[in-house]
Amino acid sequence: MPKYISKLLSRYRRLILFLMDVAVICGAYLFTWTLINWKVDQVLYFSLMVSSCFLFVACYSIIFWATGMYDSLWRYAEIVEFFRCAAASVVAVITFIIISLMIFKERRLPYSVYALSATFASSLTIYTRLTYRMYRNTKINAMGKKRRRVLLVGAGDAASTLLHELNKNTSKEMNVICAVDDDASKQGRSIIGVEILGTTEDIPYLVAQCQIDTILIAIPTLDSASRRRILDICSKTNCNIKTLPDIVKIIADGKDLASRITDIKVEDLLGRDPVILPDEATKFIKDKVVFVTGGGGSIGSELCRQVANIGPKMLVIIDIYENSAYAIQQELKRKYNGNLNMEVRIASVRDTKKMDALFEEFRPQVVFHAAAHKHVPLMEDAPEEAVKNNVFGTYNCALCAEKYGVEKFILISTDKAVNPTNVMGATKRICEMIVQNIAQSSDGNTTFVAVRFGNVLGSNGSVLPLFKDQLAEGGPITVTHPDIVRYFMTIPEAVSLVLEAGAMGEKSGEIFVLDMGEPVKIVTLAENVIKMSGLIPYQDIDIVFTGLRPGEKMYEELLQDEEGVRKTANSKIFIGSPLKMDADRFFTDLLELKAVAYENDRDRLMRKIKVMVPTFNHEVLKN
């Protein structure tokens, strides 16, 4: 249809709809007279028919106009619009009957005229609108053949709202082909013209049969276990997977539904419930001076966010890398608009005098020590730097905490510290030993604890950003070994549990171990990253196995055999029993380790680490 005709029709839409109703109503009324075939005086017959027809059409037209029947956009009409149309028809018929009884006293209309004309006129006015709506939707669906074919998971309120919106907008890129829902009462039915063809278990079959490109999960209220189950099913297909957020939140922020459809995050596959901090977990931070070393890093910056949200007396961010420190500083400034008492200091935890000066200046009450070198392969090439930064950075901060009466010192540790096979893990184990030994020898005014957990998704240098970068470059995605597994949790979850563990820490020297859930195969993670980008693993994007890197394990452990474990009030937090150590011997070894590290003698350093960490099992030490 030429554009000028389309614009003309749009401009005179009301008039066209009005004239169409006049024609339909007039035709319905005259057809009624033809059906009853009233064989009387033809002049009177014709005169009564014409005059009553004019009255009939006038009643309908006036009532329809008064009730806004020409204001609605019928291509978007829902059931309520058709009820309004039916109600307006009833009012028009009643009006017609009343007026005709008053006007046509000598020659009354047959009762069959009232009944049949009302039925035909009311039905046809509704049918014309319904036919127009179906035509528009059919046109949209025909255009949809060029768009991505979508399978909708869920046939509830969210799905209904989305389908209504998609039907209103011909420019959307989705063509919803079918839906699935686990509610047995919905099987075999349809929602806004979309058939519900099965349950979530049928997704792989329907994807193949219906040539689906995209799976859209439209159940915002899913619990974590159900969400993970559905995502596991969806991940068996080669479809792009998207999710629809909570409608209430959409209404609250005023954004339209379709624009809020988002790609599934790989983190969702972990199926872990968000952690809600109990009030007790925030009391040890509220109105306190809090230090976060390594505050610009992945864990450190999230610590800063959550600590700031609790309301400290002052938040002091310490980091040697000024760019990351600046980034979190600006983020918190924007969020709190000057209402957060915050200081940022560029400093290295290796600098003993600098750290002492900072502790003396701010007198922190709580210290989160997250500063560390953590990249396993890089630390294999520079073990002396790992020792200088991780071990003696921790030692410096712990000594300052004891000296200046810090209430709680929380060390961020790693599962790689358990039976370590790499330098980074071994240095973090020594960090834990520092915390435990200082706790044993201190006067008890400072509570020293460590929190140990596995990998966090999305942190700097972790596999997820690497996979996404490799995917953006067109692949291949590299995985070290097809059977390698790791524990994962999200950064916000890890930090929330760190805060809660910090609140629990009453006995100095304890090591808190976070429940990491089930281990995840790295190759499965890589495959899901590809699938959730709408691509096919090993076909569109290849996965290449490069072999284990130096110091890399096939799997990680969270506890040493001799540590044991105790439960806490939180099912996701456990306490490893402190190991008994000879403190005097340990601190003597520590001084020797420092001397060797600053001599940059790699071989002697590795042997010294082995002396201090007997469970250190490194390839270099085997030769």
Q: Is 482 helix (H, G, I), strand (E, B) or coil?
A: coil
Strand pairing of 190-191 and 262-263? unpaired
Both tokens of residue 258? 């379709």
**Strands (E) located in 425-548:** 447-453, 455-457, 477-479, 485-486, 488-490, 511-514, 520-521, 543-545
Burial of 340 (0-12, 13-18, 19+ CB in 10 A): middle
User: Which position among 408, 416, 428, 531 bears the catalytic label?
Assistant: 416
Sole residue written with tokens 């089930």: 518
Contact 486, 519 (CB under 8 A): yes
DSSP line for 203-267: HHHHHHHTT--EEEE--TT--HHHHHHHHHHHTTSS-EEEE---HHHHHHHT--SGGG-EEPPGG
Contact 56, 103 (CB under 8 A): no
CA distances from 54 to 88, 93, 121 (A): 18, 13, 14
Both tokens of residue 72? 């609605």
Pairwise CA distance, residues 6 & 26, whole Å: 27
Q: H-type helices in 291-422, by residue range?
A: 298-310, 322-336, 352-362, 376-381, 383-386, 392-403
Pairwise CA distance, residues 598 & 385, whole Å: 9
Pairwise CA distance, residues 284 & 307, whole Å: 10
Contact 214, 534 (CB under 8 A): yes
How far does the chain reach from its first CA to its final CA, in angstroms? 81
- Identify the H or E element spanning 92: helix 79-103
Pairwise CA distance, residues 431 & 414, whole Å: 10
Give the contacts of 195 (CB within 8 A, at least 6 positions apart): 178, 179, 189
CA distances from 414 to 426, 505, 525, 533 (A): 10, 18, 21, 31
Strand pairing of 520-521 and 485-486? antiparallel
Kindly tell me the sign of the dihedral angle through the C-alpha atoms of 67, 71, 77, 78. negative
Question: Is the peptide bond between 614 and the residue preceding it cis, with omega within 30 degrees of 0?
Answer: no
Contact 309, 301 (CB under 8 A): no
Is 283 a residue of the active site?
A: no
Q: Which residues are catalytic?
A: 416
